[in-house]
Amino acid sequence: MAMEIVYRVKRFDGEKSYYQEYSIPYEKDRTILWGLIKIRDEIDPTLSFRSACRSAICGSCAIRVNSNALLACKTSLDKQLALYQTNILTLEPLANFPVIRDLVVDWENKFKHMTEVKPWLIGEKDCPGGTGYYRQSPDEFLEISNPTDCILCGCCVSECTQHTNLRDEFYEPFIFTKSWRFTADSRDNSPKAHLLPVLNEGGLWKCVRCQQCITKCPKGVRPADHISRLRCSSMNYGFTDNLGTRHAQAFAEYIQKTGRLNEVTLPLKTEGIFRTLKRIPFALRLLRKGKLRPLYFPSPIQGIEGIRKIYNRLRKEEKK
């Protein structure tokens, strides 16, 4: 049976954008990129998209298919058709990037952000005078192995809920990964230099841990984990005078005490009395809808001893 598949492509010519449908005959074991190339070679040479290595390493070909960012070269057409139970796929440029033409997006600004975290080794710790080489143990290498898998494809940027929401107040996820890559490098002599920009400019504590960056990364890189590690690092360096740290500490405190949160007093601990006052209208709305119990002071849950043991154990490990 000669099945047709349809690529519904979001086009942009510099002024207007519109959707255009292309039908191509189905072939087994092909990739999304195969279809794009086929359209460009055989149907419409004006269709613009990027691709180079066609083996998931150069990061050129990231696009959105049915609103999910992916690498066109690595993604099986069959699997996408099966996933959506359809023969029509909608292809769009990555979100959160300016579009140049069709599926081609502009990266210049992202590289500027990247430069802010000083993505280079600040060193000379063990190789004085810039000769010889640094020793690094296989374990220390493993620490930076995952973050150095990043191919700068932009999938995480496109799908990050908080970057979509806050734009300039929250860095693109891969930039946290870059920052962590150097903060964690045993050879680096100035980890703070990579960490402070994400803390001050990048919105380190604003990540809502939705895990989209991890889910969407085609290379298994884990930006959200790197954000967590950066948060820990920042606290270890003593940068604790901020909402994020207080919030995290309050969380930890509650759980140790009772095994559950108290949402009435949590904002007080995190934000202090003045900011919390500002939240009163919101609290009243919650109250009206029955979402808040003002007089509720939770008693410890069953098995709280177990939780406290975990805490003690962690503290001991930390001291070591």
User: What is the contact surface with other proteins in residues (CB under 8 A)?
Assistant: 13-14, 29, 31, 40-42, 44-46, 48, 50-60, 74, 76, 100-102, 104, 106-108, 111, 114-115, 118-121, 123, 127, 130-138, 140-141, 144-145, 148-152, 182, 185, 187
Other beta carbons within 10 Å of 180: 28
Q: How far is the CB of 219 from other proteins (least distance, A)?
A: 8
Please tell me the distance from the alpha carbon of residue 66 to that of residue 259, in angstroms, as a whole number.
41
Tell which residue, 210, 179, 202, 205, has the closest CA to residue 192: 179
Please tell me the distance from the alpha carbon of residue 99 to that of residue 155, in angstroms, as a whole number.
15
Please tell me the distance from the alpha carbon of residue 269 to that of residue 144, in angstroms, as a whole number.
35
CB 8 within 8 A of CB 19: yes
Amino acid at position 182, single letter: F
Query: Is residue 56 at the binding interface for ligand FES, with CB under 6 A as the rule?
Result: yes
From the list other proteins, ligand FES, none, which binds 4 (C-beta under 5 to 8 Å, kind-based)? none
Candidate ranges 49-57, 103-111, 158-166, 288-296; the one touching ligand FES (CB under 6 A): 49-57
Query: Is residue 58 at the binding interface for ligand FES, with CB under 6 A as the rule?
Result: yes
Query: Is residue 37 at the binding interface for ligand FES, with CB under 6 A as the rule?
Result: no
97: left (phi over 0), alpha (psi -120 to 50) or beta: beta
From the list ligand FES, other proteins, none, which binds 100 (C-beta under 5 to 8 Å, kind-based)? other proteins
Q: How far is the CB of 19 from other proteins (least distance, A)?
A: 18
Residues at the interface with ligand FES (CB under 6 A)? 51-54, 56-61, 71, 73
